[in-house]
Amino acid sequence: MNKPLRHVWLVISILFALLFTSTTYFQIIAADRLSADSRNARAIYNEFGQPRGQIVVGGSAIATSVETDDNYGYLRTYDPGAMYAPVTGYYSVVYGFSGIERALNDTLSGSADSLFYQRIVDVLSGRPASGATVELTLDPAAQEAAWDALDGRRGAVVALDPETGAVLAMVSAPSYDPNRLASHSTGDVQEAWSALNEDPERPLTNRAIGGDLYPPGSAFKLLVAAAALESGEYTEESVIPGPGTYQLPNSSSVINNFSGGRQDPCGPDDQSTLAEALRQSCNTSFAMLAVELGEEQLRETAESFGFGQRLEIPLSVTPSTIGEELDDAQLATTGIGQFETRVTPLQMAMVASAFATDGVVHQPQLVQAVRTSDLSTVAELSPIEVGQPLSASDAALMRSMMVGVVEDGTGTAAAIEGLEVGGKTGTAQWGEDRAAHSWFVGYARGEEQKVAVAVLVEEGGYGSRTAAPIAKDVMEAVMDG
C-alpha cells in the first residue's frame, strides 16, 4: 500500500472510530441524561404525544389524558382537582410530575416491565400505545366527607381499612388545582408554580404523609397504654398514679392535669385505673407510666406500629419518630406525645388500625389494581403485614378503653349511633403563643365493615371540639357505604 493510500485509510479509520465512540456515548452512556434533560424538546413531545393511563377512584377517572391540536398531542386533566391533588400529584411539561403520577410513571406511561407483553400486543394489533389504568383504593364518599369537614383548614385526614391496609381517604388541606400545572402554556404554569411555592400555607405539601410532621399530643397515650398491656405488668384495671402535678425527674419543669381550667388529680387519692386515666386523658399518669416502662419498651412498641419505617404506598412516607436517647424527663414528656415525638396522620391511622383488628398493622396501600387497555389485571392489592404490636386479647382491651373515651370521655363528638366507636383525642402544644394542634385517632366497627381514622387540624385547639367531629363524618361515610 503506497503512502497516500495509507493516509486515506488512517483518516477513514479515525473517522469511523470517532463515529462509533460518539454513537455509543450518545445512545448508551448519555441516553438517560439526555432524555431527562428539560431542554430536550423531542423527549417531551414523545412523552406527551401518547395517551397516559387514567387514575381511577370508585370507577370514575380523576386523572386522564385529552387529545389536543398543539405540539404536545395530549393534555393531562384532573377532575375534581384539588380534593385528590395530594394523591394524584401533577403532570407538567415544565416541572415534571409528583404524587402517583411520579411514583407510577412507568405504569401510567406504559413503559413498565410488567406491560411488555401488552406493548407487543398493541404493536401486532395496530392499536396506539397507551399506559395502564391505575385504580386507587380511595372511597369517594369518605374522601369527599373528609374534604368537606376540613373545610379549608390546614390539616389532614387519613382513613384505612384495618384488615387490608387500603387507604380509604387521604386529604391534605389546603390543596391546589393540578390542572394549572398541567397546562401547555409555559407562562401560565410558571406563574402558578411561583404562586404555590410562595404561599405560606404550603399547598403543595401532602400533610398526611410528610412535611414537617406533628407532635401527636395525648393521642400518643394510646401507644403508651398498648406498651403497658404488652409488658404483661398492667391490665385495664391496674391502678396507676395520677397526681394533679408531676415534677419531671432531674428537672424543674412540671406536667399538669387540666380539667376545666383546674390542675386536678386523676381519681381519688391521686390514682386511677389505666382505663380511667385514658378516658380522662391524665397527663401525669401517662408521663409517669412512660418513665416506668422505660425507653426500650416504648420504642419497641412504637416501631412495631411502624415508627421509623420509610414506607412506599407507593407515595413516600416520612418516618415517624419518638426521638433518640431519652432521659427520664424527656421520656415523661414523650409519654404525652410531646418533646421530640413527631408523627404523620397516616402513622396514627396505622396505630388505630391495630386496635380495630386483632393487633396486626398492615402497610397502607393506595393502589387497588393496575389494568391494561383491554382490562387485563397486571397487579392487585395484596395485604402486607408491618407488625403486630399487641396480642388480639390486648387489642380487645384497648378497644374497651377507647370506647370509654368516646362514650363518656373526651371523644364523645365522634360517637355514631349503632356502631362501636373507640378513639382518643389529642391537643398538641407546638410553639409559644400558637394555638395547639387538634387530633382524633380512632376506629369504627360494624358487623361487616371496619375503619381506622386519624384527623389532624393545625392550630385547631381541643381535639374533642375540632378533630373528633371530622372523624365522625369520615367514619360515617365509610360505614354507610
- pLDDT of 119: 63
All three cell numbers of 335, joined, read 409519654
Q: Confidence class of residue 442 from pLDDT cuts 50, 70 and 90? A: very high
d(CA 373, CA 117): 12
Task: Give the model's pLDDT for residue 38.
Answer: 46
In this predicted structure, what is the pLDDT of residue 41?
43
Residues 311 and 364 sit within 8 Å (Cβ to Cβ): yes
Confidence of residue 43 (pLDDT cuts 50, 70, 90): very low
Give dist(CA 132, CA 73) in Å, integer: 18
Give the model's pLDDT for residue 432.
77
pLDDT at 470: 98
Q: Which of residues 31 and 243 earns the better pLDDT score?
A: 243
Question: Does residue 49 surpass a pLDDT of 70?
Answer: no
Which stretch of 40-49, 155-164, 286-295, 310-319 has the lowest confidence by average pLDDT? 40-49
Please indicate, yes or no, whether the overall pTM of this predicted structure exceeds 0.75: yes
What's the half-sphere exposure (Cβ side, CA atoms, 13 Å) at 322?
31
Pick from 3-17, 210-224, 421-435: least confident = 3-17
Q: What is the pLDDT of residues 316-351, one digit of tens each?
A: 999 999 999 999 999 999 999 999 999 999 999 999
Q: What pLDDT sits at residue 131?
A: 83
The residues that bridge with 282 in the sheet, in sequence order, are: none
pLDDT tier, 79 (very low <50, low <70, confident <90, very high otherwise): very high
| Mean pLDDT, rounded, for 446-473 | 93
Whether residue 63 contacts residue 76, with contact meaning beta carbons closer than 8 Å, is answered with yes
> At 40, is the pLDDT very low, low, confident or very high (cuts 50, 70, 90)?
very low
Which one of the listed residues 218, 272, 281, 438 is annotated catalytic? Answer: 218
pLDDT at 266: 84
Alpha-carbon distance 58 to 338, whole Å?
Answer: 38
Q: Given this model, what pLDDT does residue 138 score?
A: 98
Q: Which of 320, 321, 331 is nearest to 295 (CA)?
A: 331
The grid cell for 302 is 412504637
Concerning whether 218 is annotated as a catalytic residue, the answer is yes
Smallest Cα–Cα separation from 95: which of 160, 5, 222, 180? 180
Instruction: State the Cα–Cα distance between residues 145 and 162, nearest whole angstrom.
Output: 19
Per-residue pLDDT reduced to its tens digit, 109-141: 887 777 666 666 665 555 666 788 999 999 999
Is pLDDT above 90 for 2? no
